[in-house]
Amino acid sequence: MSDSKPIMTTTAGNPIADNQNSLSAGPRGPLLMQDYQLLEKLAHQNRERVPERTVHAKGSAAFGQLTITHDITRYSKAAIFSEIGKETECLLRFSTVAGEQGAADAERDVRGWALKFYTDEGNWDMVGNNTPVFFVRDPLKFPDFIHTQKRHPRTNLRSATAMWDFWSLSPESLHQVTILMSDRGIPKSYRHTNGYGSHTYSFINAEGERFWVKFHFKTRQGIETIRNEDAEALIGKDRESHQRDLYENIEAGNCPKWDFKIQVMPELDAEKYHINPFDLTKVWPHSDYPLIDVGVLELNRNPENYFAEVEQSAFSPSNIVPGIGFSPDKMLQARIFSYADAHRYRIGTWYEALPVNRPKSAVNHYHKDGQMHFMNPRSSDAYYEPNSMNGAVQDERYAEPPLKISGDADRYNHREGNDDYTQAGNLFRLMSDCQKQQLFGNIAAAMDGVPEPIVERQLAHFEKADPAYAAGVREALATVCEPVTAQ
C-alpha cells in the first residue's frame, strides 16, 4: 500500500489487514465468530437507517443565508434583524407531507418548508409549508388527519375514501383542500414555490412591545406548476425530479432566491379582529395587514452528505430566539412539543448536538447522560442548578412581557360559530377560468372510487363556499367518476 493512503481501521481505530475475505475454518469452512470486522460491518449495515419521519419523510435541502435588506427593529429586537446587510447562515429542507421516503417528488401534496437559522443568539427554526393555511385548527385532530394520508391498515394502499371522508366531516379543511386541488398542488420544483411560516408567531421589540406576525417567502423564480397528466409522465421517468432540480441548479450556480416578507398585527388588534388571527385555517387579508419587506433568502450550497446534513437535520418551532416568540395558535402550541419529541425518538436524546443541528453560538445547560451522549464533555461540579460552582445562570433580560390570557378551562368546540367557507370561496373566485377547470378536474380525479354519500357531503361544502364551485366539481365528476354506493 502506498504511504500516501490512510490505513483502514475498525471503528475503534484498529488497523485492518484484509477487508476482502471473511475469516473461515479452511477455504470452504464455516465462518468464525472472532471475525469482528465482519460482524461489525453487518451490524452497522442493519442500523444505517434511522426511522423515517412520520410526516414529511421525503425531502431535499440546501444551505444558504438570509440577508436583511430592510429595518424592522421597531417590531423585533432579534439579533438576526439587527442591521441592514446582516447575513445569517441557514438550512432549508423542502418535503412532501404524505409520502414515504421512496415516494415520488411530483405527487399532488403540500410541500413542507422547514428553515433553520444559525443566529448569534442560537438557532431559530421556522416550520411551515408552501401554503399559508392547514387542514385542521385543533391539534387533537392532527394524528387523525395524518392517518388518512397514510396507508390503509388492511390494503396497505393510500385511501381516497379515508381522505375525503375526513375532509367532508371537517369543514375547516376546505381552504387547504382548495389549494391542494388547485394548480399549485403539484409544483414544477421546490424552487418554484412560496414558503410560509403558516402559524402566527410573535415579535417583541426592545421596548417590550409585542406584535403578532406571519412569515412569507416569495419565490423569485416565479410560481410554476404541472398538471396531473404531466406529473404522471414525469414520475415514470424520474421519481426524484425536485431533488435533482434543486441539486443541479445550485451546483451550476443558479442559486434560487426568495423575498422574505412579514405581516404584522399590533397585539391588541387580535381582540377585535373579525377572524381569529391564531386560526391556522385562515389567512390575514393583505388589505388589512400588508406585506412588509425584510430581506432575501438565497440557497447556494448543497449538503456534502445527505444522511448527516438532511436526514439528521431536526427542526422544531420550540427553537426561538430573543425577539421572536410564540402565540396562542393551538396548532403551534402542540407542535412546540411534538416536533422536538419526534426528533428525540427518531435520532436520539442528543439530536440538537449533531453537527447539522448544533448552534453556532455557545450552548450551556444541565442535561445529563442518555443514549448517544457523544460529545464527551468535561466533568464539572456544576451539574445541577442553582449551584455555587460558577455554573450557567438565568438572565432575566431575556424574559418576554406577560401575555394577557383569560377564559375558563374547557374543551371548546372549534367548529361552532366558525366561518370555514368565505376564505375558501374568495380563493376560488380569484382563480382564472383555466385554474377553475383544473381545480374541478383534479378534485374529480381524486374522488374516483369514493362512496357517493361522502362525495355529496363534500359537495355541500363546495356549495357553501360558492355555488359555482360545487357545480363545476359535479360536472367534472359526471365525466370522470363512476358513482360508488356506500358499503
- The 10s digit of each residue's pLDDT in 425-446 is 999 999 999 999 999 999 999 9
Residue 98, pLDDT above cutoff 70: yes
Q: φ and ψ at 233, to 5 degrees?
A: -65, -40
- Give residue 369's pLDDT band: very low, low, confident or very high (50, 70, 90): confident
Q: Supply 473's cell numbers.
A: 366539481
- Residue-level pLDDT at 487: 45
Q: Whose CA is closest to 198, among 179, 182, 181? A: 179
CA 178 to CA 54: how far, in whole Å? 24
Neighbours of 83 (CB within 10 A): 9
Going by the DSSP 8-state scheme, the letter that residue 393 receives in this structure is: -
Most confident of 8-12, 101-105, 146-150, 464-468: 464-468
How far from the centroid of its chain's Cα atoms is residue 276's Cα? 23
More confident: 276 or 20: 276
Q: Whose CA is closest to 324, among 139, 199, 219, 218? A: 199
Residues in the chain, overall count: 487
User: Contact at 8 Å (CB) between 221 and 254?
Assistant: no
- Residue-level pLDDT at 168: 97
- Give residue 1's pLDDT band: very low, low, confident or very high (50, 70, 90): very low
- Residue-level pLDDT at 403: 87
- The 10s digit of each residue's pLDDT in 451-460 is 999 999 999 9
Amino acid at site 44: H
Which one is catalytic: 56, 242, 343, 461?
56
Residue 50, pLDDT above cutoff 90: no
Helices (H) and strands (E) in the chain, counts: 12, 10
Range in 14-28, 58-72, 236-250, 451-465 with the lowest mean pLDDT: 14-28
- Residue-level pLDDT at 26: 82
Q: What is the mean pLDDT of residues 356-380?
A: 84
Range in 74-78, 377-381, 450-454, 473-477 with the lowest mean pLDDT: 377-381
Residue 257, pLDDT above cutoff 50: yes
CA 129 to CA 116: how far, in whole Å? 14
Classify strands 59-68 and 257-266 as parallel, antiparallel or unpaired: unpaired
Amino acid at site 467: P
Going by the DSSP 8-state scheme, the letter that residue 91 receives in this structure is: E
- Residue-level pLDDT at 44: 75
- The 10s digit of each residue's pLDDT in 128-181 is 999 999 999 999 899 999 999 999 999 999 999 999 999 999 999 999 999 999
- CB-based contacts of 151-160 (< 8 A; 24+ apart in sequence): 158/98, 160/446, 160/447, 160/448, 160/449, 160/450
Residue 484, pLDDT above cutoff 70: no
CA 321 to CA 115: how far, in whole Å? 14
- The 10s digit of each residue's pLDDT in 224-246 is 999 999 999 999 999 999 999 99
Residue 190, pLDDT above cutoff 70: yes
User: Contact at 8 Å (CB) between 371 and 346?
Assistant: no
- Those residues with Cβ within 8 angstroms of residue 117's Cβ, 6 or more apart along the chain or in another chain: 66, 80, 88, 89, 90, 123, 124, 125, 126
Beta strand spans in 23-81 (E): 59-68
Q: Is the peptide bond before 386 cis (omega within 30 degrees of 0)?
A: yes
Cα dihedral angle (15, 19, 24, 30), rounded to 10 degrees? 130
- Residue-level pLDDT at 386: 87
Q: φ and ψ at 126, to 5 degrees?
A: -125, 110
Q: φ and ψ at 165, to 5 degrees?
A: -65, -45
User: Contact at 8 Å (CB) between 193 and 187?
Assistant: yes
- The 10s digit of each residue's pLDDT in 285-326 is 999 999 999 999 999 999 999 999 999 999 999 999 999 999
Q: φ and ψ at 128, to 5 degrees?
A: -140, -160
Longest dimension (CA), the chain: 84
Average pLDDT of the chain is 92
172: left (phi over 0), alpha (psi -120 to 50) or beta: alpha
Catalytic, 129? Answer: yes
* DSSP class per residue in 327-373: -S-HHHHHHHHHHHHHHHHHH-TTGGGSTTT--SS---------TT-
Q: How many CA atoms lie within 13 A of 215 on its CB side?
A: 26
Q: Supply 24's cell numbers.
A: 473461515
User: Contact at 8 Å (CB) between 431 and 178?
Assistant: no
- Residue-level pLDDT at 203: 98
How far from the centroid of its chain's Cα atoms is residue 323's Cα? 22
More confident: 6 or 233: 233
Q: φ and ψ at 196, to 5 degrees?
A: -140, 140
Domains assigned to the chain: 59-134+187-359 (2.40.180.10), 422-480 (no CATH)
Q: φ and ψ at 54, to 5 degrees?
A: -60, -40
- Residue-level pLDDT at 437: 97
Beta bridge partners of 89: 65
Residue 119, pLDDT above cutoff 80: yes
Axis-axis angle for helices 467-480, 452-465 (nearest 10):
150
Q: What is the mean pLDDT of residues 391-406?
A: 86
Which one is catalytic: 123, 129, 130, 249?
129
